[in-house]
Amino acid sequence: MTEQFYTTQLQAGLGLKEETKGLFELWQPGMATQDLIDTALESGSFPNVTARRLRNIVAECFVPRYLRKEDTAQFVKALLPSLSSLEVSQIFYLYTARANYILAEFVKNVYWQKYASGYQCILAEDSKSFVEMGLQDGKMKKPWSETTIKRVSSYLLGCLVDYNFLEVASRAERRLTPPRLSEHVAVYLAYELHFSGLGDNAIINHPDWQLFGLSPGDVREELKALAVNRYWIIQAAGDVVQISWAYKNMEEVIDVIA
């Protein structure tokens, strides 16, 4: 497995929910990065965004999050009209965390740990300490300055505010507001992992579920509960899980969600 490093890529854009929805309206299969930039600039859909900023959003945010695999953008574009605002946030959050290792690690190792320990808030200092620890542990390809550490630690909190995981309580505090993983997003994620070639037990143990605060045991129970709606049939004996999947491809899954 390729070693992952913390980057400053979040500085190009945090949640960007409205901008991302706008870009999905314009994006078409086969578009190269420059094609999407040109289309967005010509569309008039982003009147309050400078050309330079729009190029940054496309190249540094939209492309790494949704165009690593073209299928991803196709699936998300097809899914968006059927989702509530909360569900859209969860889908965007999933792909943003996948594209930004530092965000995924912060959520798993700080956010959910704070929640599990009964804390109601995360402090700005908690985020800064996490980034500093990453520096000590060699998680960056090269050392970061104190200014960069401070900026990136604020981006982590800002991104989670954008995706409804935090609320601003004060300048130094963010209130924990963990959303429950929605049924539609859970079904989408389970099938996306399935069609990526993972076995049933690997799906249950996949780290993406941790982004929503779910342990493998939680995932088993979640999938059992969703089996009532005939998304799949699941059998579990101890730690061994066997799933009979109801749909043959992601297009069928999206049709059912819609």
Q: What CATH number does residue 132 fall under?
A: 1.10.10
Residue 112 belongs to a domain: yes
Please indicate, yes or no, whether residues 208 and 192 belong to a single structural domain of this protein.
yes
76-99 pLDDT per residue, tens: 999 999 999 999 999 999 999 999
166-200 pLDDT per residue, tens: 999 888 899 999 999 999 999 999 999 999 999 99
CA–CA distance, 204 with 70 (Å, rounded to integer): 25
Q: Where are the beta strands (DSSP E) in the chain?
A: 121-123, 166-168, 173-176, 232-237, 240-245
Please indicate, yes or no, whether residues 244 and 196 belong to a single structural domain of this protein.
yes
In this structure, are residues 114 and 126 in contact, taking their beta carbons and an 8 Å threshold?
yes
> Domain of 207?
183-257
Please indicate, yes or no, whether residues 165 and 129 belong to a single structural domain of this protein.
yes
CA–CA distance, 170 with 76 (Å, rounded to integer): 34
CA–CA distance, 196 with 2 (Å, rounded to integer): 18
Helix (H, G, I), strand (E, B) or coil at 158: helix
Size of the chain, expressed as the number of residues it contains:
258
Partner residues linked to 168 by β-bridges: 174
Each residue's pLDDT, cut to its tens digit, for the chain (258 residues) gives 577 999 999 999 899 999 999 999 999 999 999 999 999 999 988 988 899 999 999 999 999 999 988 799 999 999 999 999 999 999 999 999 999 999 999 999 999 999 999 999 999 999 999 999 999 999 999 999 999 999 999 999 999 999 999 999 888 899 999 999 999 999 999 999 999 999 999 999 999 999 999 999 999 999 999 999 999 999 988 778 999 999 999 999 999 998
Residue with tokens 């996949």: 206
Residue 133 belongs to a domain: yes
CA distances from 241 to 111, 198, 238, 248 (A): 28, 13, 8, 19
